[in-house]
């Protein structure tokens, strides 16, 4: 028999190649192909199936109660608690607070009488204990193990009474006898995850896998793990800022794009029930160059301060620096302001910052960014207690954005009195705010210019 050939698997996308290449054909990444053991010959897998029963789409289903952690921000993101017999992946940059979040959740669930096993592949039992002490949860009946061998973990879990929740921190440290390659390789991570997920489905336990994320935001190693689990949550935030966002990017049992907001403190993560306060709390009122954006994160309104600084440049190519927003979107807005509104930015450096370290992805932020830019450029502050939202098109018209009513409601709740919003699509909004509905960006430039004149005269 011919010697079985090894295969090469891309650590980024999981594509399989028959020989080594510098660049993955499937995803285009460089240096991501890793050698793995031979694939199973197709012949051994074929010809052994049994007949399975088929079912109708309708029928009685028993949905078991969800396991609520009692941490409201976490339960919101999972869609009302963990679903028994499901697997979750919690991803995030190293040091962002994944282990802290999960240890706190484990303690909360254990305190409710659930059997919770926390398996750490990265820290020793003593280190986890120290952390638990610091978090003030050391008395919770969580069962700890420092282990990386999947078969041993599963044997331990099966030996004891029924477990409700297993936390595996992290999946990248796990290894199984089923593969010959080293821990951390694609095959190891995939098979380890597969084994743990199978345990969840077979016993009704919730399996939570922790995964590290690469700098470009992918769960490091195989993205296949993302496909295998029922929900993928990202824990994100800026290391220099206190707040952390837990974001559902995939959820088979609840809404995706839902967020939970936490604050990292000296003794662990604290829930932030009113996140808008966090992002506009320290706003510098009446300074030119700031505007409050009424944004949405999932189903949740969130007010954020956008700051711009437009200053005369001595450089041949003026600087454009952006934190928390898409630089190409800034270039587009500047072009629209120049071409459609006659407001030149060519000889100026432009700096843009989203307060608090948040990243804005919504097109609805266009109008707030434009307001901050115009305000700084003309040296006139935005009207007090005013919020902005709306998408700017290349022609300079302001396009409607979803959920206008929810945005206005949040602003009203926080004491705002005026809103600049798209003329289109906001007819039915009932609110106590004074609405300035604008059809085109030139209207807003005119409004700021009129304010500048009123202040000067």
Q: According to the binding rule CB under 6 A, does residue 100 interact with ligand TYD?
A: yes
Binding at 268: pick from Mg ion, ligand TYD, none (beta carbon under 5-8 Å per type): ligand TYD
In the complex, residue closest to Mg ion by CB? 99
Q: According to the binding rule CB under 6 A, does residue 437 interact with ligand TYD?
A: no
Q: Which is nearer to ligand TYD, 114 or 131 (CB)?
A: 131
Binding at 86: pick from Mg ion, ligand TYD, none (beta carbon under 5-8 Å per type): none
CA dihedral 92, 97, 102, 108 (to 10 degrees): -140
Q: According to the binding rule CB under 6 A, does residue 96 interact with ligand TYD?
A: yes
Q: According to the binding rule CB under 6 A, does residue 266 interact with ligand TYD?
A: yes
Scan residues 211-240 and list those touching ligand TYD (CB under 6 A): none
Q: Which is nearer to ligand TYD, 137 or 444 (CB)?
A: 137
Whether 361 contacts 435, CB under 8 Å = no
Binding residue for ligand TYD (CB under 6 A) from 38, 41, 95, 402?
95
What span, in angstroms and rounded, lies between the C-alpha atoms of 436 and 422?
8
Angle between helix 150-159 and 186-203 (nearest 10): 10
Number of residues that bind Mg ion (CB under 5 A): 1
Maximal CA-CA distance, the chain: 94
Q: Which is nearer to Mg ion, 90 or 306 (CB)?
A: 90
What span, in angstroms and rounded, lies between the C-alpha atoms of 390 and 358?
19
What span, in angstroms and rounded, lies between the C-alpha atoms of 247 and 249?
6
Q: Which is nearer to ligand TYD, 109 or 401 (CB)?
A: 109
Binding residue for Mg ion (CB under 5 A) from 12, 34, 69, 99?
99
Question: Looking at 48-56, 91-99, 293-301, 325-333, which segment touches Mg ion (CB under 5 A)?
Answer: 91-99
Find the shortest distance in angstroms from Cβ 240 to ligand TYD.
Answer: 11
Binding at 266: pick from ligand TYD, Mg ion, none (beta carbon under 5-8 Å per type): ligand TYD
Q: Which is nearer to ligand TYD, 245 or 441 (CB)?
A: 245
Q: According to the binding rule CB under 6 A, does residue 357 interact with ligand TYD?
A: no
Find the shortest distance in angstroms from Cβ 168 to Mg ion.
Answer: 11
Find the shortest distance in angstroms from Cβ 217 to ligand TYD.
Answer: 15
Q: According to the binding rule CB under 6 A, does residue 255 interact with ligand TYD?
A: no
Q: According to the binding rule CB under 6 A, does residue 97 interact with ligand TYD?
A: yes
Q: According to the binding rule CB under 6 A, does residue 98 interact with ligand TYD?
A: yes
Find the shortest distance in angstroms from Cβ 104 to ligand TYD.
Answer: 9
Q: Which is nearer to ligand TYD, 135 or 405 (CB)?
A: 135
Find the shortest distance in angstroms from Cβ 122 to ligand TYD.
Answer: 8
Q: According to the binding rule CB under 6 A, does residue 119 interact with ligand TYD?
A: no
Q: What is the 3-state secondary structure (H, E, C) of the chain?
A: CCCCCEEEEECCCCCEECCCCCECCCCCCECCEEEEEECCCHHHHCCCCCCCCCCCCCCCCCCCCCECCCCHHHHHHHCCCECCCCEEEEEECCCCCHHHHHHHHHHHHHHCCCCEEEEECCCCHHHHHHHHHHHCCCCCCCEEEECCEHHHHHHHHHHCCCCCEEEEECHHHCECCCCCCCCCCHHHHHHHHHHHHHHHHHHCCEEEEEEEECCCCCECCCCHHHHHCCEEEEEEECCCCCEEEEEEEEECCCCCCCEEEEEEECCEEEECCCHHHHHHCCCCCCCCCEEEEEEEECCEEEEEEEEEEEEECCCCCCCEEEECCCHHHHHHHHHHHHHHHCCCCCCEEEEEEEHHHCCCCCHHHHHHHHHHHHHHHHCCCCCCCEEECCEECCCCEEECCCCHHHHHHHHHHCCCCEEEEECCCCCCCCCCCEEEEECEHHHHHHHHHHHHHHHHC
Q: According to the binding rule CB under 6 A, does residue 168 interact with ligand TYD?
A: no
Binding at 399: pick from Mg ion, ligand TYD, none (beta carbon under 5-8 Å per type): none
Question: Looking at 93-101, 250-258, 297-305, 340-348, which segment touches ligand TYD (CB under 6 A)?
Answer: 93-101
Question: Looking at 36-44, 88-96, 293-301, 439-447, which segment touches ligand TYD (CB under 6 A)?
Answer: 88-96
Using CA atoms, how far residue 411 sits from 61, 326, 359, 403, in Å, is 42, 24, 20, 13
Q: Which is nearer to ligand TYD, 236 or 366 (CB)?
A: 236
Binding at 92: pick from ligand TYD, Mg ion, none (beta carbon under 5-8 Å per type): ligand TYD
Q: According to the binding rule CB under 6 A, does residue 244 interact with ligand TYD?
A: no
Q: According to the binding rule CB under 6 A, does residue 267 interact with ligand TYD?
A: yes
Interface residues with ligand TYD (CB under 6 A)? 92, 94-100, 131, 134-135, 264, 266-268
Interface residues with Mg ion (CB under 5 A)? 99
């Amino acid at each position: 028999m011919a010697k079985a050939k090894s295969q090469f698997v891309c650590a980024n996308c999981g594509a399989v190649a028959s020989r080594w290449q510098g660049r993955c054909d499937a995803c285009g990444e460089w240096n991501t192909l890793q050698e793995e053991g031979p694939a199973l010959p197709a012949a051994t897998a074929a010809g052994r199936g049994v007949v399975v029963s088929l079912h109708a789409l309708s029928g009685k289903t028993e949905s078991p109660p969800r396991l609520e952690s009692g941490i409201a921000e976490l339960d919101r993101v999972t869609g009302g608690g963990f679903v028994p017999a499901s697997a979750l992946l919690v991803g995030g940059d190293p040091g962002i607070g994944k282990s802290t979040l999960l240890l706190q959740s484990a303690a909360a669930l254990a305190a409710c009488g659930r059997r919770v096993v926390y398996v750490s592949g990265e820290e020793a039992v003593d280190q986890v204990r120290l952390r638990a002490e610091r978090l003030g949860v050391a008395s919770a009946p969580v069962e700890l193990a420092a282990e990386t061998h999947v078969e041993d973990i599963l044997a331990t879990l099966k030996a004891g009474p029924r477990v409700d929740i297993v936390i595996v921190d992290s999946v990248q440290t796990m290894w199984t006898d089923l593969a010959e390659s080293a821990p951390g390789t694609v095959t190891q991570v995939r098979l380890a995850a597969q084994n743990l997920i199978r345990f969840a489905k077979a016993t009704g336990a919730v399996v939570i896998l922790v995964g590290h994320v690469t700098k470009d935001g992918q769960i490091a190693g195989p993205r296949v793990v993302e496909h295998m689990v029922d929900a993928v949550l990202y824990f994100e935030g800026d290391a220099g800022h206190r707040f952390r966002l837990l974001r559902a990017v995939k959820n088979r049992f609840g809404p995706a794009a839902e967020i939970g907001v936490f604050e990292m403190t000296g003794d662990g993560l604290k829930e932030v029930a009113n996140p808008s306060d966090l992002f506009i709390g320290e706003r510098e009122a009446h300074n030119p160059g700031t505007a409050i954006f009424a944004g949405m994160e999932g189903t949740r309104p969130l007010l954020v301060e956008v700051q711009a600084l437009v200053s005369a440049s001595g450089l041949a190519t003026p600087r454009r620096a952006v934190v928390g927003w898409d630089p190409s979107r800034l270039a587009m807005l500047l072009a629209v302001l120049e071409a459609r509104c006659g407001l030149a930015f060519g000889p100026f450096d432009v700096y843009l910052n989203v307060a608090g370290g948040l990243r804005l992805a919504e097109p609805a932020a266009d109008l707030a960014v434009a307001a901050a830019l115009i305000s700084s450029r003309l040296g006139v502050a935005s009207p007090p207690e005013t919020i902005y939202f709306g998408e700017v098109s290349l022609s300079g018209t302001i396009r409607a954005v979803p959920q206008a009513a929810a945005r206005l409601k949040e602003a009203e709740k926080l004491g705002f009195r005026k809103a600049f919003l798209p003329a289109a699509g906001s007819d039915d909004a009932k609110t106590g705010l004074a609405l300035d509905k604008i059809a085109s960006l030139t209207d807003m430039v005119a409004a700021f210019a009129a304010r500048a004149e009123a202040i000067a005269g």
